């Protein structure tokens, strides 16, 4: 590809990540000698600007959660640099990170596993104050009740236990805890993936409202492209521990440049009734995601890419920023002048994908009332979710996905415990019995665009 002029990076990002690496060692034998490493995150660089939402998307196991834990310093990086407001926090210890914890918070994937079932909601949400030795104006209880109200929960439920709440409400408790210390950056790891689709829209709207109200900056990790589309200003696509494409939402969805992004997007139906009847081709990637223990040489996607040539096998494409700000790591990018490679496409590449023509929906869908620009209803999200499931038979096996979820939940519990450690109240107050409070906005109203 012709290397375009590099874009200048935006001034003073809130978070700056440079060449971040996390390799989990694999040990063998009695002496626990290192026999290899899981290259979970392998040299990623990006900025997060104040007030924006950066979405991180990619298949299961590509390193999204590891990246989230690295930037919130719940994991020690193997290499690279993390700067927050210009300060190097890459290797800060627990004591060094304590003041930063106020500014950088994490919302965990599993609203069940991330809350200690033995603690009351009041105790859970007040833990950050106790850990930091901060007494808010008016006292901790009053502030916790204000926070519960802010996330759409009934402040009177201060003495209830997590099991007395629904999944969506528990996620709100996790959000209230993350917001307690008025953080600047919130990293949300799959904040809605454990929730019913109908509740997802409520939580997404809540995050959106809180961002406007409190001026938060988000890094939102998800594997659901329909959710990521509606929450993100910019989106980074990850594949096997690397960022392969990073750009603003519009460019990514309208003109994806990396073949992997193109394949991911082609599997997601457009949640627009006017276009639902239109025939579309979907790219199904064949074969499994390679192991992060011994990733493919050159471009890590070359074993599944239909455009792969000899250079793709041997030379890793760097993530280059184009003049437009669009960053892509590919020797033969889509939507570029020289996208058709002169080099001979590898034999294996010709069988890397299967093109499936989607069956047109009923004529009624086509006749449905048009939506106004940018308006996406909860139905659309539900529909996108349902159709995505149908359209992706090549997704990871359910058992595998479940195991990964369970593992993530377990880790989230440990981390949440760590976050709430130090708050030793037994939570012995009687739980209340009132009904559930209403969310601050109606569901069905995701209006980021
Ligand atoms: N503590 C650990 N020890 C060893 N390997 C790990 C550890 N944590 C994660 N990994 C491995 O690192 C890789 C990336 O894992 P990670 O959880 O970051 O993926 P992910 O993109 O969040 O996936 P998912 O969408 O399923 O949550 C996986 O291969 C995983 O098995
Ligand atoms: S064309 Fe080559 S460099 Fe680009 S994604 Fe495919 S294999 Fe990777
Ligand atoms: Mg994860």
Predicted confidence band at 114 (pLDDT cuts at 50, 70, 90)? confident
Index of the ligand 1 atom closest to the CA of residue 68: 18
Strand 104-107 with 217-222, pairing? unpaired
pLDDT at 279: 59
Q: Reduce the DSSP state of residue 82 to 3 states and report it.
A: strand
Residue 6: inside a domain, yes or no?
no
Find the ligand nearest to 298 CA: 2
Long-range interactions of 310-313: CB distance < 8 A, separation 24+: 310/343, 310/344, 310/346, 311/343, 312/346, 313/346
pLDDT at 94: 85
Measured from the CB, is residue 292 less than 6 Å from ligand 1? yes
Tokens describing residue 37 = 């490493």
Measured between its terminal Cα atoms, the distance across the chain in Å is 33
CATH of residue 115's domain is 3.40.50.300
Measured from the CB, is residue 58 less than 6 Å from ligand 2? no
Cα-to-centroid distance, 189 and ligand 3 (Å): 7
Dihedral, CA of residue 156, residue 158, residue 162 and residue 166, to nearest 10: 30
Q: Which of 261, 313, 330 to mutate to test the pocket of ligand 2 (most atoms within 8 A of CB)?
A: 330
Residue 1: inside a domain, yes or no?
no
Cα-to-centroid distance, 334 and ligand 2 (Å): 10
Cα-to-centroid distance, 60 and ligand 3 (Å): 7
pLDDT at 274: 58
Measured from the CB, is residue 437 less than 6 Å from ligand 1? no
Name the closest-CA residue to atom 3, ligand 2: 330
Among 11-15, 24-28, 243-247, 388-392, the least confident range: 388-392
Measured from the CB, is residue 328 less than 6 Å from ligand 2? no
The average pLDDT across 38-62 equals 95
Index of the ligand 1 atom closest to the CA of residue 109: 27
Q: pLDDT tens digits for 131-181?
A: 888 898 889 999 999 999 989 899 999 999 999 999 889 989 999 999 999
Q: pLDDT tens digits for 69-84?
A: 999 999 999 999 999 9
Name the closest-CA residue to atom 3, ligand 1: 24
The average pLDDT across 42-54 equals 96
Residue 437: inside a domain, yes or no?
no
pLDDT at 141: 93
Cα-to-centroid distance, 22 and ligand 1 (Å): 10
Question: Is the CB of residue 407 less than 8 Å from the CB of residue 109?
Answer: no
Q: Which of 256, 258, 317 to mutate to test the pocket of ligand 2 (most atoms within 8 A of CB)?
A: 317
Cα-to-centroid distance, 332 and ligand 2 (Å): 6
Residue 145 CA to residue 140 CA, distance in Å, equals 9
Find the ligand nearest to 414 CA: 1
The tally of domains found in the chain comes to: 1
Predicted confidence band at 269 (pLDDT cuts at 50, 70, 90)? low
pLDDT at 346: 81
Among 151-155, 305-309, 360-364, the least confident range: 360-364
Indicate whether 42 pLDDT > 80. yes
Residue 421 CA to residue 414 CA, distance in Å, equals 10
Cα-to-centroid distance, 32 and ligand 1 (Å): 21
Measured from the CB, is residue 329 less than 6 Å from ligand 2? no
Largest CA distance in the chain: 72
User: 349 Cβ partners below 8 Å, 6+ apart?
Assistant: 302, 305, 306, 307, 308, 309
Measured from the CB, is residue 401 less than 6 Å from ligand 1? no
Residue 19 CA to residue 12 CA, distance in Å, equals 18
- Of 54 and 339, the structure prediction assigns the larger pLDDT to 54
User: 76 Cβ partners below 8 Å, 6+ apart?
Assistant: 91
Residue 185: inside a domain, yes or no?
yes
pLDDT at 10: 53
Cα-to-centroid distance, 317 and ligand 2 (Å): 8
Question: Is the CB of residue 249 less than 8 Å from the CB of residue 68?
Answer: no
Predicted confidence band at 370 (pLDDT cuts at 50, 70, 90)? very low
Index of the ligand 2 atom closest to the CA of residue 313: 7
The average pLDDT across 206-223 equals 92
The average pLDDT across 179-201 equals 89
Number of neighbouring beta carbons within 10 Å of residue 260:
26
Residue 440: inside a domain, yes or no?
no
Measured from the CB, is residue 352 less than 6 Å from ligand 2? no
Measured from the CB, is residue 312 less than 6 Å from ligand 2? yes
Q: Please state, for a pLDDT cut of 70, what percent of the chain lies above it.
A: 73
Measured from the CB, is residue 408 less than 6 Å from ligand 1? yes
Number of neighbouring beta carbons within 10 Å of residue 297:
13
Cα-to-centroid distance, 413 and ligand 3 (Å): 14
Find the ligand nearest to 317 CA: 2
Q: pLDDT tens digits for 421-444?
A: 333 333 333 333 333 333 334 333
Q: Reduce the DSSP state of residue 446 to 3 states and report it.
A: strand
Question: 384 lies in which domain range?
Answer: 15-420
| Ranges 225-229, 279-283, 381-385, 404-408, most confident | 225-229
User: 413 Cβ partners below 8 Å, 6+ apart?
Assistant: 110, 113, 114
Q: Reduce the DSSP state of residue 187 to 3 states and report it.
A: strand
pLDDT at 407: 43
Indicate whether 25 pLDDT > 50. yes
pLDDT at 356: 76
Question: Is the CB of residue 90 less than 8 Å from the CB of residue 17?
Answer: no
Which helix (H) or strand (E) element contains residue 19? strand 15-28
What does the DSSP assignment read for 23-72?
EEEEEETTTTEEEEEEEEEEEEEEEE-TT-EEEEE--TTSSHHHHHHHHT
Residue 442: inside a domain, yes or no?
no
pLDDT at 196: 81
Measured from the CB, is residue 38 less than 6 Å from ligand 1? yes
| Cα 131–Cα 137–Cα 141 angle in degrees, nearest 5 | 65
Q: Which of 25, 42, 59, 65 to mutate to test the pocket of ligand 1 (most atoms within 8 A of CB)?
A: 65
Residue 306: inside a domain, yes or no?
yes
Cα-to-centroid distance, 220 and ligand 3 (Å): 11
Find the ligand nearest to 401 CA: 1
Residue 2: inside a domain, yes or no?
no
Name the closest-CA residue to atom 7, ligand 2: 302
Indicate whether 285 pLDDT > 50. yes
């Amino acid at each position: 590809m012709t290397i375009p002029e590099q874009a200048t990076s935006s001034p003073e990002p809130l978070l700056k990540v440079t060449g971040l690496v996390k390799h989990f060692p694999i040990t063998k034998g009695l002496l626990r000698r290192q026999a290899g490493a899981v290259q979970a995150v392998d040299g990623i660089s990006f900025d997060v600007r104040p007030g924006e939402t950066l979405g991180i998307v990619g298949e299961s196991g590509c390193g999204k959660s590891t990246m989230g834990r690295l930037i919130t310093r719940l994991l020690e990086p193997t290499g690279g640099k993390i700067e927050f407001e210009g300060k190097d926090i890459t290797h800060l210890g627990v004591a060094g990170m304590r003041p930063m914890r106020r500014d950088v918070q994490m919302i965990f994937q599993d609203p069940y596993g991330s809350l200690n079932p033995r603690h009351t909601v009041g105790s859970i949400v007040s833990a950050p104050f106790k850990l930091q030795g901060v007494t808010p104006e008016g006292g901790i209880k009053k502030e916790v009740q204000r926070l519960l109200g802010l996330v759409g929960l009934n402040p009177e439920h201060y003495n209830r236990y997590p099991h007395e709440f629904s999944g969506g409400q528990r996620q709100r408790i996790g959000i209230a805890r993350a917001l307690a210390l008025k953080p600047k950056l919130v990293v949300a790891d799959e904040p809605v993936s454990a929730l019913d689709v109908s509740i997802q829209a409520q939580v997404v709207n809540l995050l959106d409202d809180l961002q406007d109200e409190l001026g938060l900056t988000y890094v939102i990790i998800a594997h659901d492209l329909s959710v990521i589309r509606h929450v993100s200003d910019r989106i980074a696509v990850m594949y096997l521990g690397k960022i392969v494409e990073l750009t603003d939402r519009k460019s990514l969805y309208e003109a994806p440049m990396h073949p992997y992004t193109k394949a991911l997007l082609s599997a997601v139906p457009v949640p627009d009734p006017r276009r639902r009847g239109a025939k579309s081709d979907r790219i199904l990637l064949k074969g499994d995601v390679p192991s992060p223990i011994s990733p493919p040489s050159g471009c890590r996607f070359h074993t599944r890419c239909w455009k792969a040539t000899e250079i793709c096998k041997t030379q890793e494409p760097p993530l280059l920023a184009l003049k437009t700000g669009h960053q892509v790591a590919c020797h033969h990018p889509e939507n570029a002048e020289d996208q058709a490679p002169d080099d001979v496409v590898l034999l294996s590449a010709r069988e890397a994908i299967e093109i499936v023509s989607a069956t047109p929906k009923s004529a009624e869908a086509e006749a449905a009332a048009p939506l106004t620009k940018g308006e996406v209803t909860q139905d659309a999200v539900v529909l996108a979710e349902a159709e995505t499931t149908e359209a992706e038979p090549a997704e990871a096996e359910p058992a595998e996905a479940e195991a990964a979820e369970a593992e993530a939940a377990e880790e989230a519990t440990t981390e949440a415990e760590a976050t709430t450690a130090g708050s030793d109240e037994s939570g012995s107050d009687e739980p209340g019995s009132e009904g559930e409070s209403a969310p601050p906005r109606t569901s069905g109203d995701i209006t980021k665009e």
